[in-house]
Amino acid sequence: MAAAPAAETLDGHKDRFDLGVFVDDLPLDEEVTSDDESLEGLQQELDNCKNDQEVANILANGIKLREYTKGVENNIRQIELDSIQDYIKESENLVSLHDQIRDCDNILSQMETVLTGFQTEIGSISSEIKVLQEKSMDMGLKLKNRKAAESKLSKFVEDIIVPPRMIDIIVDGEVNDEYMKTLETLSKKIKFIDADPMVKSSKALKDVQPEVERLRQKAVSKIFEFVIQKFYALRKPKTNIQILQQSVLLKYKYTIIFLKEHAKEIYAEVRAAYIDTMNKVLSAHFRAYIQALEKLQMDIATSTDLLGVETRSTGFIFSIGKEPLKTRPSVFALGERINILKEIDQPALIPHIAEAKSQKYSYEVLFRSLQKLLIDTATSEYLFTDDFFGEESIFHDIFAGPIQVVDEHFNAVLLNCYDAIGIMLMIRIIHQHQLIMFKRRIPCLDSYLDKVNMSLWPRFKMVFDLHLNSLRNANIKTLWEDDVHPHYVTRRYAEFTASLAHLNVGHGDGQLDLNLERLRMAIEDLLVKLAKMFAKPKLQTIFLINNYDLTISILKEAGTEGGKAQQHFEEVLKSNIAIYVEELLLEQFSSLIKFVKSRPADETATNSEKASIAEVEPLVKDFASRYKAAIELMHYDVITSFSNFLCGMEILRATLAQLLLYYTRLTECVKRINGGSALNKDLVSISSILFEIKKYSRTF
């Protein structure tokens, strides 16, 4: 307890504590000499004690180390004596504790013996478990192998065995849905026997294989008879082939698969029988349909129905053809025939209904109906054969006959066809049918449709060239009529050109445009030749104007948006109108026009070029005296010369406007003459002339 104050003192005087001071004053025993104690290492120990807290406390209290040491030894000795007394007091407890420890040691020894026995028993049990585990794994493997063997054996027995029920159905059963399922099972057994080499070496196969073979032969025989019977049902009159195919034959499609897999020779016979049946049936159907259509055909054109052939030779006036006169204009005009392209996907004609109504049709209508029936029948047959037989090639064998029948008819008709518009319509029909087949994704008729298209174009070119040559080689004397109104050849040409141009919209056939340009040049040359047959130039001009105007009107009415032909005819019409205006004015005011043209139009004229009153006065007085009568005569001339009133009105307006221009130049000339004011009383005012112009414009 005395160390605490010393520590506090040490803390308070820590900065000024010096260990050497106390050491120097430390008294030593007299017995201790330098010979008894070695001072080696003293300095190191002193250095070590500098940081010792206990030493520092002792030194701080001023206690000498030797005394302090003796006090500590005495304390230790006293504590030792006290401890001995404590042990003596607790001796009985220690003895009791020793006995308890000895008893525990005996118990632990017994437990060790028991646990050792347990360990030995557990070791033996582990060995037994390991043996049992090995036995279990062995038994599991055996069980797995037995199950695998049982599964394979069960499948083998199931695949190779022939149940009595299967034999009864194959031999005596009717061909129905149950028969189809049994047939599939038999097919699997046949494939199993043929595919697995281990099966072929089994003893069970020797018993089963003859029975399976007999069942196969019986099934093939029954299927063959059944299918052939169904095929012959297709030959019955008025049989709906598509319904029979879809509702009956496709239902038994597996019979064909069975024959293809297990009786290739019989399959080939069935395939040939179907091809032969359908070839004959469809050929007969198309032949009968074509014969019925021929009764509905209306003849449109013959070899003499050409643009440049005179009316009398074609029988247009005294028609002795097969068809009524009212059908004849359709040779060159498209008219309502264009509607056939709008009805391209309509069902085919039913001949007996049309015949009962006494209806007749141009050939392109019959052509569309025939081709429509062909592509629909081909589509149905193509899809059926692909589904039923699984072969696309069989279609071409079947349709070789029907296509030949259609080709023979078409080639015979085309050889005698002179209807260019009808041929062009057929070309467009074929194009539409090609698009229909493309949308259906049915390629079976691609080559046929291309062939028909390639047959139509040369025929169209041949007939078109006949029309072209008829214009080029036309007999002018027989065609010419002493009439300035539009010629019937012009109307034919205009309608023919408008029809072909309309059919070319959306197709942009450059070759057709080129042919139409050649035709335009030919008709223009012909019109010029016919115009020259008139004695008077004025009549020639009127004739050309009437024909050009008619051509333009028809081309506009056809809605072909003009084209090169219309633009050209508008230009030549404009130039001919200008010629006619000059000729008409010259008839009434030739002196005035010659005078005006001989004088400059501006004020730059010299004195020698200026007219005199003597020259102008007769012209002014003549115009004033008869300009109204002259305008009336020109009006009458126009309305009697031109068929198109609108065109005539435009020509009259142009004539009167040109007259006003000439007269205006005359009045200007009068104003420039010295003393010309004397003629003012005879000059007609411009407003008076305009009044007359408006008057005739209103009445026209």
- Single-letter amino acid code for the residue at 382: Y
Give the pLDDT of residue 374.
95
Residue 549 has pLDDT above 60, yes or no: yes
The model's confidence at residue 130, banded by pLDDT at 50, 70 and 90, is confident
Give the pLDDT of residue 278.
93
Average pLDDT, the chain: 82
Residue 23 has pLDDT above 60, yes or no: no
The Cβ-side half-sphere exposure at 121, using a 13 Å CA radius, reads: 6
Give the pLDDT of residue 9.
38
The more confidently predicted of residues 694 and 3 is 694
Give the pLDDT of residue 22.
39
Q: Which of 550, 542, 666 is nearest to 601 (CA)?
A: 666
The model's confidence at residue 357, banded by pLDDT at 50, 70 and 90, is confident
Give the pLDDT of residue 593.
87
What pTM did the predictor assign?
0.71
pLDDT tens-place string over residues 465-503: 999 999 999 889 898 888 889 999 999 999 999 999 888
Q: Cα(285)–Cα(289) distance, rounded to whole angstroms?
A: 6
Give the pLDDT of residue 574.
93
Among 6-15, 37-46, 396-405, 555-564, which stretch is predicted with the lowest mean pLDDT? 6-15
pLDDT tens-place string over residues 241-250: 889 888 888 8
Which H/E stretch holds residue 141?
helix 91-160
Q: How many CB atoms lie within 10 A of CB 537?
A: 13
Q: Give the contacts of 654 (CB within 8 A, at least 6 positions apart).
A: 577, 578, 581
Among 64-73, 371-380, 661-670, which stretch is predicted with the lowest mean pLDDT? 64-73
> Phi, psi at residue 297, to the nearest 5°?
-75, 135
Give the pLDDT of residue 154.
61
Rounded average pLDDT over 41-69 = 70
Among 64-78, 572-586, 656-670, which stretch is predicted with the lowest mean pLDDT? 64-78
Residue 682 has pLDDT above 90, yes or no: no
CA 354 to chain centre: 38
CA 28 vs CA 65, 138, 504, 519: distances in Å: 10, 96, 148, 160
Q: Cα(138)–Cα(455) distance, rounded to whole angstroms?
A: 85
Rounded average pLDDT over 522-536 = 93
Domain spans, the chain:
70-146, 164-262, 279-310+330-473, 595-602+609-697
Give the pLDDT of residue 2.
40
Q: How many CB atoms lie within 10 A of CB 466?
A: 18
Whats the size of the chain, residue-wise? 700
- Per the CB < 8 A criterion, the answer to whether 175 and 223 are in contact is yes
CB neighbour burial string for 250-270, b if at least 16 within 10 angstroms, e if fewer: eebeebbbbbbebbeebbeeb
Q: Which of 65, 69, 52, 67 is nearest to 17 (CA)?
A: 52
Q: Which ranges of 161-263 does DSSP label H, i.e. alpha helix?
A: 164-172, 177-195, 197-200, 203-233, 241-244, 253-262
Residue 39 has pLDDT above 80, yes or no: no
| Beta bridge partners of residue 297, listed in sequence order | 361
Q: How many CB atoms lie within 10 A of CB 100?
A: 10
Among 91-105, 138-152, 432-446, which stretch is predicted with the lowest mean pLDDT? 138-152
Residue 321 has pLDDT above 60, yes or no: no
Among 392-396, 458-462, 475-479, 691-695, which stretch is predicted with the lowest mean pLDDT? 691-695
CA 671 to chain centre: 78
The model's confidence at residue 444, banded by pLDDT at 50, 70 and 90, is very high
With a pLDDT cut of 90, the percent of the chain lying above it is: 31
The model's confidence at residue 176, banded by pLDDT at 50, 70 and 90, is confident
With a pLDDT cut of 70, the percent of the chain lying above it is: 82
| Beta bridge partners of residue 361, listed in sequence order | 297
Q: Cα(526)–Cα(545) distance, rounded to whole angstroms?
A: 14
CA 303 vs CA 395, 462, 491: distances in Å: 39, 11, 19
Q: Which of 580, 498, 499 is nearest to 546 (CA)?
A: 580
Q: How many CB atoms lie within 10 A of CB 682?
A: 16
Rounded average pLDDT over 68-74 = 83
CA 76 vs CA 2, 6, 85, 373: distances in Å: 17, 21, 14, 137
Please tell me whether residue 536 adopts helix, strand or coil conformation: coil
- Residue whose pair of structure tokens reads 């049915």 in the numeric block: 442
Q: Cα(585)–Cα(651) distance, rounded to whole angstroms?
A: 12
Q: Cα(337)–Cα(466) distance, rounded to whole angstroms?
A: 22
Give the pLDDT of residue 68.
76
Among 206-215, 518-527, 539-548, which stretch is predicted with the lowest mean pLDDT? 206-215
